[in-house]
Structure 1
């Protein structure tokens, strides 16, 4: 319950940050347009026209103002129409939030399997089951969780321990894969939202042509630009989230292999100790 409360607070902070970002973008819309106009005026003032009437050439000075990445992204977000770009941005923020939480959880679930098995064998031989359980309770890895839950069934026999390993192993696998379906959902939704903006932008362009009764590049440029920007934004979000998703899947596969290998070695250790006559205190 305590962990769920922390997640709710984190989601609330991210949502407030998202709302604040959108408000800042629209608050700075006018200033960004003035900045673009100033840059265009600067470029026009630096255009040199020879006296003989030849074609003009543009020159640039070292102090020329060049928009930075933040300004470019903000301008493209505004040009793409906030009604379509905002849902795409929301998919990116939520997808990254879940992906980062999964990466942290998966790294905490990782452990040195060989060292864990060595410590387990030593604890069982020297202090018995209680000492081994005490050490395992101090670890947060998936392997340690399986060992601890299974070792509590030691008194019921090796067969019961083996069944417990299979059961608790499935539970741990479910915990590792938790949240990946939401990342996959945002990967699918983001391009769809971009394509929806594309379709609506093209519809607006054709409506403008129909209203004007003529085809003019300047008349349809706005709708086409909106369509292209929303598509690009959706694809970029999908690519970014796909990278995080593939990393999580690869990490889970590695952890599952470690869990299977450690479980086999764990049963072998228990069988050896039983044959040697080691009993639970």
Structure 2
């Protein structure tokens, strides 16, 4: 019996020892894994911090390069002949610059608009007359709707009143023509104003510069030809700038006016052709 209990106790002690060893090894393994994990996290954290620092430094370098390029462009512009003359011209150069920008915008817009308004008027009239004779007014209206430009627009307005008689067609065409003309002439007043005002602004800047130049001469102890020539040269910059702006603006204004006059003649010819055709159709009916 004692031998049985001793054997049983021995087995229990053995199992307890095994459990203790397993627990010890488990704790040791867990500690080792935590240590390995912490060791692995340190480089990861360091690499993340390094990457963030690198990205911050890269962004700072990019911003510095952008500022350097911008400042370099500004400095190059200031050192250029145009930039130096702009600075020497004084405060009146600012409104002249603004006027030139506005004029450039209107010139581009008008050129694009009038170019799109240009169509083959002869071909359009042949289609309209043929459709009027063969298929009727509705077919001619569809031709006008498919065609862009002011001429097709006024003819469309007139044909819509064809059932009211030639007089109603003529009045509708006149009304539509007035509206289309207002669109074609949009911006021309601004161009004419800039073309007239730019030289005056330049001359006013020259007068202001001459006043400043003579004031500097009066304040100088010794007057030299170089001092006088420099003041006059700087004062005349605004006059030259005003003329440089006014000449092309005036040329483009006159060009646009001539194009619009051509549109007016084509509108009148097309309107007369359509009205005469409607009168003939009414008479023959």
Relative to the length of structure 2, the TM-score reads 0.70
Question: How far does residue 156 in structure 1 lie from its aligned partner after superposition?
Answer: 1.1
Bigger Cα Rg: 2
* 170-179 vs 94-103, which moves further: 170-179
Q: Equivalents in 2 of 1:103, 1:27: separation in Å? A: 32
4, 23, 27: which is aligned to 2:74? 27
Whether contact under 8 Å (2:77, 2:83) holds in the other structure is: no
Q: Does 1:74 align with 2:121?
A: no
Residues matched between the structures, number: 216
Q: Name the counterpart of 1:103.
A: 111
Contact 1:208 1:220 in 2 (8 A): no
1:161 Cα deviation after fit: 0.8
Q: RMSD of the alignment, in Å?
A: 2.2
How far did 1:90 drift? 1.5
Gap change, CA 1:123 and 1:31, over 3 Å in 2: closer
**How many Å apart are 1:30 and its aligned residue?**
8.6
Shift of 1:74: 3.0
Q: Write the distance in 2 (CA, Å) between the matches of 1:151 and 1:118.
A: 15
CA distance in 2, matches of 1:26, 1:204: 30
Among residues 228, 232, 252, which one is paired with 1:224 in the alignment?
Answer: 232
Match of 1:249 among 254, 257, 269: 257
Structure-1 separation of matches of 2:76 and 2:278: 68
Tell whether 2:210 aligns with 1:202: yes
Q: Of residues 163, 167, 174 in structure 1, which corresponds to 2:171? A: 163
Whether the aligned pair in 2 keeps the contact of 1:195 and 1:230 (CA below 8 Å) is yes
Instruction: Pick one of 93, 101, 111 that aligns with 1:93.
Output: 101
Q: What is the aligned counterpart of 1:181 among 177, 181, 189?
A: 189
Q: Which residue in 2 is equivalent to 1:115?
A: 123
How far, CA to CA, are the matches of 2:71 and 2:161 in structure 1? 58
Deviations 1:231-270 (A, max 9, x none): 1010010001011111101101111111111111111111
Partner of 1:271: 279
Q: Is the 8 A contact 2:199 2:243 kept in 1?
A: yes
Shift of 1:222: 3.8
Give SS of 2:92's match: helix
Distance 1:232 1:240 in 2: 13
Select the residue among 218, 223, 242 that pairs with 1:215: 223
Q: Looking at secondary structure, tell me which structure has more helix per residue.
A: 2
| CA–CA separation in structure 1 for the residues paired with 2:236 and 2:138 | 64
TM-score between the two structures when normalised by the length of structure 1? 0.71
Structure 1 residue 115: Cα displacement? 1.0
* 1:271 shift after superposition: 1.5
- Residue of structure 2 in register with 1:19 after alignment: none
The correspondence for 1:133, drawn from 120, 138, 141, is: 141
Is the Cα contact below 8 Å between 1:25 and 1:74 reproduced in 2? no
Q: Which of 244, 249, 259 lines up with 2:267 in the alignment?
A: 259
**Conserved 8 A contact 1:136-1:145:** yes
